[in-house]
Structure 1
Amino acid sequence: MNALRKGLNIFYKAEEVLLGILIAAATAVLFANVVLRYGFAANTSWANELVRYIMIWITFIGMGLCFRRGIHVGIDLLMNYLSKKATKVVQVIVNLLSISFLLFLGLYGLELVLFSIDTGQITPSLEIGMFWVYVVIPLGCALSIFHICMFTGKILSGSDELSLNNYE
């Protein structure tokens, strides 16, 4: 069990490091683009495109991290008035609905990846395969489903602590 926990902690840290690298890269590219555009009147058409694609990656990888930490926007007014048992039931139902939506989104994202590979779509400025942009959709959905399943397992195991960020 300790090895599993250690492996999960490494996985969680890698997820956070990847997000940090992506945010730093987007910041650096934007800064360089502003300096080049206004300081040297040089136009970099690829910079805006690269930052746009990095933001897509940040969004989908960050979605899983938000599920893990329990920081997605939610309405907990009803939950405050329910008993512990009813709260657990509602949370499991919400988690199952979330998983259903993420499966739907992930499968269509996978179709988009396969379509972009089959058609050979490339990005306009960077001229890289669009599948590199789209592959994060099923990946981010899978990460989110993993985190939701971990939390749901904690609920079903009878834990009294019902915070997503404490299942780690």
Structure 2
Amino acid sequence: MKRLERIFVALNAWALIIMLSAMTLVIGANITFRYLTGHSVPWADEAARYLMIWLTFTGAGLILRNGGHVAITNLQDALPASGQKFLRAAIVVGLLIFFGFMVHVGLQYAQRMQLQLTPALRIPFIYVYAAMPIGFGLLIIHLLIIARLFITAGTYKRSDDAGAKVNSLPGGPIG
């Protein structure tokens, strides 16, 4: 199971690296062409914008598992250990419900936009708006992977590098 988790995290990370690299190349090429020829690539801004949308949604799960989202822990810190576990379990359940709802809303929105084309690239908007349900689906998977350790200990041992220390972040990785 840990091997599958490492593969999943690595694939998610490599997808982000590829998207960020593509965005950098598109913007860099556009700047180069603008200064050398005086003309911009007409689709560069649009491609960079859509890559940024995909980066945001597909990267949120990796940020979640590493405790990078904002957390306010005053209530959790004021509770006894059993109350903290209950609160963290409620947070996980609430997040799963919200993420599931957002997958549903994202699918509906993407389907509504499937016949419209982007102005410059002329691709169906469904490919742009598919980032939302896919990103929230990835959030669900990442949350389910770390939920048990987050609820029981409030910490999460990173599995993407074997020798990592246990992260003891304020509020844990999702709190």
Taking structure 1 as the reference length, what is the TM-score of the superposition?
Answer: 0.87
CA contact (8 A) 1:150 1:167 kept: no
What is residue 163 of structure 1 aligned with on the other side? 155
What is residue 34 of structure 1 aligned with on the other side? 31
**Aligned AA (1:22):** M
Q: Distance in 2 between matches of 1:150 and 1:84?
A: 22
| Displacement of 1:86 | 1.5
Q: Per residue, is there more helix in 1 or in 2?
A: 1
Q: Alignment length, in residue pairs? A: 159
Q: In structure 2, which of residues 93, 97, 118 is the aligned counterpart of residue 100 of structure 1?
A: 97
> What aligned pairs does 1:83-122 form with structure 2 within 5 A after superposition?
83-117=80-114, 120-122=115-117
| Displacement of 1:33 | 1.0
| Displacement of 1:35 | 1.3
What is residue 24 of structure 1 aligned with on the other side? 21
**Aligned AA (1:163):** T
What is residue 129 of structure 2 aligned with on the other side? 134
Q: Distance in 1 between matches of 2:146 and 2:3?
A: 17
| Displacement of 1:154 | 2.9
Q: Distance in 1 between matches of 2:144 and 2:16?
A: 21
Runs of 4+ with >4 A deviation: none
Root-mean-square deviation over aligned CA pairs: 1.6
Q: Distance in 1 between matches of 2:150 and 2:29?
A: 47
Q: List runs of 5+ in structure 1 lacking aligned partners.
A: none
Q: List runs of 5+ in structure 2 lacking aligned partners.
A: 160-175
**Aligned AA (1:144):** L
CA contact (8 A) 2:149 2:155 kept: no
Q: Distance in 1 between matches of 2:122 and 2:22?
A: 19
| Displacement of 1:152 | 2.2
| Displacement of 1:125 | 0.3
Q: Distance in 2 between matches of 1:151 and 1:89?
A: 16
**Aligned AA (1:145):** I
Q: What is the percent sequence identity of the aligned residues?
A: 30
Taking structure 2 as the reference length, what is the TM-score of the superposition?
Answer: 0.83
What is residue 152 of structure 1 aligned with on the other side? 147
Q: Distance in 2 between matches of 1:60 and 1:127?
A: 22
